[in-house]
């Protein structure tokens, strides 16, 4: 795992594409990169691709508190995988989305904001799910399955 620099952009597809090109050039070969975004409806899609830094500074409790003043707690988790087959080649993008809502933190398994995100149709956050259930429902699981189907 390599933490690549990211362009400052709200479009996760543009971020993933840029990261894939950079990774393929650094590796001088094929690379797969991932970019994740968490979009709060009440905040016009923010924190979006900046979720990594929001989570790092505010933790799940702080993310939950950001929405305290808003009635709308809906959110969309987005994962974009970008596969770049060679340096200077055009990356192929695979996106998965999971719609849900933000709830009070409920720690358990998982990482990041898993304790506050409840997928639509579910009663518990990712942090309370088995890994198999989470992978079936999650934005990342959907993106990975699209990539696997493409292979």
Q: What phi, psi does 46 have (nearest 5°)?
A: -85, 155
pLDDT(65) > 80: yes
Residue 29 forms part of a structural domain: yes
- For 84-131, the pLDDT digits (tens) are 999 989 999 999 999 999 999 988 887 889 999 999 999 999 999 999
**Rounded CA separation 98/106 (Å):** 19
Choose between 108 and 75: higher pLDDT: 75
**Rounded CA separation 29/27 (Å):** 5
Residue 3 forms part of a structural domain: no
Residue 4 forms part of a structural domain: no
Q: What percent of the chain has pLDDT over 70?
A: 99
Residue 7 forms part of a structural domain: no
Residue 124 pLDDT:
96
Residue 97's CATH number = 3.90.950.10
Give the dihedral of Cα atoms 47, 52, 56, 57; nearest 10 deg: -30
- For 4-19, the pLDDT digits (tens) are 767 777 888 999 999 9
Residue 6 forms part of a structural domain: no
The alpha-helical segments, DSSP class H, found in 28-103 are 51-66
Residue 111 pLDDT:
83
Residue 107 pLDDT:
81
Residue 67 forms part of a structural domain: yes
Domains: count for the chain? 1
**Rounded CA separation 124/24 (Å):** 38
Domain that holds residue 93: 12-150
pLDDT(2) > 90: no
141, 135 contact by CB (below 8 A): yes
CB-based contacts of 10, cutoff 8 Å, min separation 6:
45, 48, 49
Residue 114 forms part of a structural domain: yes
Residue 61 forms part of a structural domain: yes
Residue 24 pLDDT:
94
Spell out the SS3 assignment of 87-105: CCCCCEEEEEEEEEEECCC
Residue 141 pLDDT:
96
Choose between 2 and 144: higher pLDDT: 144
């Amino acid at each position: 795992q390599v933490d690549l620099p990211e362009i400052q952009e709200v479009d996760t597809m543009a971020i993933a594409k840029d990261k894939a090109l950079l990774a393929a050039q650094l590796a001088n070969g094929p690379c797969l990169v991932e970019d994740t975004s968490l979009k709060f409806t009440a905040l016009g899609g923010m924190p979006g691709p900046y979720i990594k830094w929001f989570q790092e500074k505010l933790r799940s409790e702080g993310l939950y508190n950001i929405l305290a003043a808003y009635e709308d707690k809906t959110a969309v988790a987005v994962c974009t995988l970008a596969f770049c087959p060679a340096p200077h080649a055009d990356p192929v993008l695979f996106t998965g989305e999971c719609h849900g809502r933000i709830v009070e933190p409920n720690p358990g398994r998982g990482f990041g904001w898993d304790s506050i995100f409840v997928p639509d149709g579910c009663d518990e956050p990712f942090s309370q799910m088995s890994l198999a259930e989470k992978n079936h429902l999650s934005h990342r699981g959907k993106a990975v399955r699209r990539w696997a189907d493409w292979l």
